[in-house]
């Protein structure tokens, strides 16, 4: 049975969004390409709407204690219209199941992401 191959772009064409991507690509370029294709399909889901999508992904990163993910998804949520209250409210929804600490730890990173989105919006205006 043939294994499907995914196109792996040349290194000079790469835009690494995450620190792990370059070392992964160096050792397993086909795996990296397959993961990117899979994530592109997730990113293209039509439901839920994009703002809800990013809020859900942000909450998942809160639960995982992934500060870079919280910052990134807070920024992306804000870029598609999430308010600071929606971001904080989404984070606080994690408290009953995962405790206060994870939510409190996430707030400064969420604020950085939210502020970054506001700065980009201001530059465009």
Give the pLDDT confidence of 8-51 residue by residue, as tens digits.
445 455 667 777 788 888 888 888 888 888 888 888 888 899 99
Burial class (CB in 10 A: 0-12, 13-18, 19+), 59: buried
CB 59 within 8 A of CB 111: no
pLDDT digits (tens, 9 = 90+) for 88-119: 999 999 999 999 999 999 999 999 999 999 98
At which residue do the structure tokens 């205006």 appear? 125
The confidence score (pLDDT) of residue 125 equals: 60
Confidence of residue 1 (pLDDT cuts 50, 70, 90): very low
The confidence score (pLDDT) of residue 6 equals: 43
Peptide bond preceding 115: is omega within 30 degrees of 0, i.e. cis?
Answer: no
How far apart (Å, rounded) are the C-alpha atoms in residues 22 and 26?
6
At which residue do the structure tokens 């990013």 appear? 54
How far apart (Å, rounded) are the C-alpha atoms in residues 58 and 53?
9
Q: What is the pTM of this model?
A: 0.76
At which residue do the structure tokens 């730890």 appear? 105
């Amino acid at each position: 049975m043939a294994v499907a191959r995914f196109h792996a772009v040349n290194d000079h064409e790469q835009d690494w969004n995450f620190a792990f991507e370059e070392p992964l690509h160096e050792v397993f370029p086909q795996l990296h390409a397959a993961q990117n294709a899979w994530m592109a399909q997730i990113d293209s889901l039509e439901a839920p709407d994009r703002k809800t999508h990013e809020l859900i992904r942000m909450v998942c990163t809160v639960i995982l204690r992934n500060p870079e993910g919280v910052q990134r998804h807070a920024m992306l949520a804000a870029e598609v219209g999430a308010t600071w209250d929606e971001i904080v409210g989404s984070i606080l929804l994690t408290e009953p199941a995962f405790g206060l600490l994870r939510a409190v730890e996430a707030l400064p990173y969420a604020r950085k992401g939210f502020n970054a989105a506001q700065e980009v919006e201001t530059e465009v205006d």
